[in-house]
Structure 1
Amino acid sequence: MRHYRLITSPESIASLKMRLYLQRRNIAFREVSASRLILKSEILPRLKRIDIPVLVTPSNETVQDTRAMIDHLESREPGDGLLPDDSEGRIANRLIEMFADDWLSPTASFAVWSAESPAAATELAATLYPEHEDDMRARVSRRLHAQVRARLGRQGLIDKTWPSRAARIGDLSALLERHFEVSPFLLGGLPSIADCALAAPFQFLWNETEFGIELLSRLPRLSRWMHAMHGGSVRPAEASRSTVNEATLLPILRFAAEQTLPHALGACEAVADWAGAHPGRINLPRSVGNSAAKRDPEKVSREYAPATAWMLQRLLDALDDAAPAAFELIDASGCGMLERYRPRRTLRHEHHRFRLNIDPDPDAAAIDVHALAEPLLKARNRAVETRDLERLVLG
């Protein structure tokens, strides 16, 4: 039987996102856990490095990065896709997916891995080294824990920022609870890519943390959406509804824009600065610099990753293709200021790496992205002031 193979890790939120997508699209696949043998015989030969998840197609092609996997499947697999057809839905989908992948998923990972001896580290060590004795597995577990915490720290996730992040998740959950009172899914009566991207970190919090259990226990509509995303039934009247309730969706989009767009703009400018400092090189490293702590609402420095710049570039493409009917949503969501921005250097995801494109004017003047994103940064600051082998996990 023709099927895909999805190589996953038990503690990877990106793996859960792809599992949800494949299930909702009803695409035949077989899931394989990334044991040490799979790492050596499958992932390293295909990618030349470790990354999770990995999709192997029926023709033995390798696709890495969840956004690239979904693009591949949306363009090739028959049936109704999960990317909305209208420009408003596509913009909302891109923004929510970027927020879920770049902000919410690392935050959910920190909630799990901030414990002194997280069960996630023990489970991952057992998956990688099933033949080891308990004491050796404990050593591996401690090493994995240290590596994941170090990587999360570079993303600005440390003990002092968790209270602020937890408060933001609470705010988001309240917005989602109101939205799911009038809509079964984020963008109407049927699930989208945005639903898969957002449900994965929430499921991770629910399964792995007391914080997530307590949060969802008092949010019945959010819990119902989680159940529906994992195969639960939806009432026929809801399944046939196609319109989006903008009154409850717009606050979610605005929240996502406030949390992600300022940093994403900085990542785009950091890519251009890196390219200028490394003439002739097209393969980008995993990090192209760091933000200034004094400009961050949480007063921490965060690394700039090419993946963040690429996700913003995808959102900008959706904005360029927007129909006039989408202009009101663009402005109300906080994305209006992006109409005045064009990256100095663009990039692509090719051969499992981020590579620079040859742009027409690489020497264009740098843009003050802090001034451009000032309205969103002020909104984030006001919200904060009112409140008192890591790649197997983080990709």
Structure 2
Amino acid sequence: MANKYTLYGAQLSLYTGKLRSYLRYKQIPYEEVFSSRKVYKDIIIPKTGVQFIPVLKTPQDEYLQDTSAIMDVLELEFKERSVIPNTPKQKLISAILEMWGDECLLLAAMHYRWNHDNFPFIYEEFGEIALPNMPAFIRRFVGKKLGAKFKGFVPMLGITPNSIPAIEDWYEHHVLPILDKHFAKHEYLLGGRPSTGDFGLMGPLYAHLYRDPASGRLMKQIAPNVSKWVERMNQTSAACGEWLADDEIPDTLFALLKRQFVEFWPLQITTLARSQAWMKENPEKKKLPRMLGEHTIQIGDISEKCAVRSFSHWKLQRILDLYGSYSDSEKASVDPLLNELGGLEMMQTKVEQRVTRENNLLVKEGSN
């Protein structure tokens, strides 16, 4: 088909799982190309300038990178089956949940992949990147070396022997039970159709936590309704229902959202402050480094050091911009909910030094 998109990704890739699910739900015609080492060398790096997947090639031969940015573009192009609610509370909560899935559930996804018994499955999957046509035992050998690079990122996220008990308690006794009860009552986060929040959760909950053997068994045991939601999100012909009436936010999500504002949002605010400080201290530099030192993440009663990832500035900026775009009447509708959830004060955070994406890199907004 002349108007078909091309998705460069992989089954093991967290963010590919997010975008693939979105393309299926939107019924956007596409073909998927596995991102082997050759595809990285010949297509992904030359066309995008970075080494991240997924990448989406448009029918006009444009190459798009970053799932949130890609979805922004496609929502404008494909108006049907919108995933962005048109009421203020649902739109904001959907965006908050997308960021949480992209940024915070990454901890559980990376921990359960690399610190639980998912081998040789994972090594074979990584080996396929380098040697897609070789026997499994050879892929395992090569994949172990490739996977070591990704496993090396685990401590940088704050996943250490000190924090692992708290991460497992958070995921197994908070995230999964809450979502299981929610999905027993609702098909998706906000009712009968998926929102951007659903796709944010889909990346980690599918590509790592459902597909990987150890965490997949755990999800099916603890949270069968979450497993069913993952399978529903992967359907190629999902029905397009309706979000809940009257801009309702299900109370089954309140505990999840409240804990986000206690533990996750302070980390995002600190990232924003660190990023803005770096830009003020380096006025001559346009591109931001990916890492900006360390700060502290709090999970339950445990504190641990983790890397300050500058890209989180862009993610948080999007949320604050959305809230800032609301009229007085829309804020009057949203603010009582934010106050109940413990997020009203943090939503007033001002972004003094803005960032943007340019050629798939994070740069100061307005810089030449």
TM-score (norm 1): 0.83
What one-letter code is carried by the residue in structure 1 that aligns with 2:165?
Answer: P
Answer whether contact 2:15 2:203 (CA < 8 A) is retained: yes
What one-letter code is carried by the residue in structure 1 that aligns with 2:194?
Answer: P
Residues 1:352 and 2:360 aligned together: yes
How far apart in 2 are the matches of 1:123 and 1:44? 21
SS in 2 for 1:198: helix
Aligned position for 2:210: 206
- For the structure 1 residues 301 and 80, does the alpha-carbon distance in structure 2 shift closer, same or farther, using more than 3 Å as the test? same
Answer whether contact 2:162 2:304 (CA < 8 A) is retained: no
Aligned position for 1:75: 76
Residues 1:123 and 2:114 aligned together: no
SS in 1 for 2:132: coil
Aligned position for 1:33: 34
The partner residue of 2:146 within 135, 144, 147 is: 144
Note the C-alpha offset of 1:354: 0.7
Aligned position for 1:342: 350
Answer whether contact 1:110 1:149 (CA < 8 A) is retained: no
The partner residue of 1:172 within 167, 170, 175 is: 175
Note the C-alpha offset of 1:296: 9.6
How far apart in 2 are the matches of 1:301 and 1:330? 28
Answer whether contact 2:192 2:241 (CA < 8 A) is retained: yes
Unmatched tracts of structure 1, length 5 or more: 360-395
Aligned position for 2:291: 287
Note the C-alpha offset of 1:135: 7.5
Note the C-alpha offset of 1:52: 0.9
- For the structure 1 residues 221 and 233, does the alpha-carbon distance in structure 2 shift closer, same or farther, using more than 3 Å as the test? farther
Query: How large is the Cα RMSD of the aligned pairs?
Result: 2.6
SS in 2 for 1:303: strand
Q: 1:292-323 CA distances to partner (integer Å, 9 max, x unpaired)?
A: 47999533211111221111111111211331
More strand by share: 2
Answer whether contact 1:125 1:141 (CA < 8 A) is retained: yes
Note the C-alpha offset of 1:352: 0.5
Answer whether contact 1:13 1:201 (CA < 8 A) is retained: yes
- For the structure 1 residues 303 and 297, does the alpha-carbon distance in structure 2 shift closer, same or farther, using more than 3 Å as the test? farther
- For the structure 1 residues 223 and 50, does the alpha-carbon distance in structure 2 shift closer, same or farther, using more than 3 Å as the test? closer
Answer whether contact 1:95 1:315 (CA < 8 A) is retained: yes
Q: 1:174-202 CA distances to partner (integer Å, 9 max, x unpaired)?
A: 21122223322101211111112213322
The partner residue of 2:244 within 242, 245, 259 is: 242
Aligned position for 2:276: 272
Residues 1:253 and 2:261 aligned together: no
Aligned position for 1:91: 92
Note the C-alpha offset of 1:258: 2.9
Note the C-alpha offset of 1:224: 3.1
How far apart in 1 are the matches of 2:87 and 2:78? 20
- For the structure 1 residues 347 and 297, does the alpha-carbon distance in structure 2 shift closer, same or farther, using more than 3 Å as the test? farther
SS in 2 for 1:302: strand
Aligned position for 2:200: 197
How far apart in 1 are the matches of 2:78 and 2:40? 27
Aligned position for 1:22: 23
How far apart in 2 are the matches of 1:201 and 1:101? 8
- For the structure 1 residues 42 and 312, does the alpha-carbon distance in structure 2 shift closer, same or farther, using more than 3 Å as the test? same
How far apart in 2 are the matches of 1:294 and 1:29? 41
What one-letter code is carried by the residue in structure 2 that aligns with 1:276?
Answer: K
How far apart in 1 are the matches of 2:21 and 2:170? 24
- For the structure 1 residues 247 and 131, does the alpha-carbon distance in structure 2 shift closer, same or farther, using more than 3 Å as the test? closer
How far apart in 1 are the matches of 2:121 and 2:162? 22
After TM superposition, the structure 1 stretch with the greater mean CA deviation from structure 2, 161-170 or 140-149, is 140-149
Answer whether contact 1:102 1:260 (CA < 8 A) is retained: no
SS in 1 for 2:306: coil
What one-letter code is carried by the residue in structure 1 that aligns with 2:103?
Answer: D
Q: Percent identity?
A: 24
Answer whether contact 2:112 2:209 (CA < 8 A) is retained: yes
After TM superposition, the structure 1 stretch with the greater mean CA deviation from structure 2, 261-270 or 243-252, is 243-252
How far apart in 2 are the matches of 1:128 and 1:285? 28
How far apart in 2 are the matches of 1:150 and 1:296? 24
Aligned position for 2:162: 160
Aligned position for 2:67: 66
What one-letter code is carried by the residue in structure 2 that aligns with 1:222?
Answer: V
Paired residues, what number?
Answer: 357
Residues 1:110 and 2:111 aligned together: yes
Aligned position for 1:49: 50
Answer whether contact 1:10 1:124 (CA < 8 A) is retained: no
Unmatched tracts of structure 2, length 5 or more: none
SS in 1 for 2:163: helix
Aligned position for 1:377: none
- For the structure 1 residues 294 and 84, does the alpha-carbon distance in structure 2 shift closer, same or farther, using more than 3 Å as the test? closer
Aligned position for 1:379: none
Aligned position for 2:302: 298
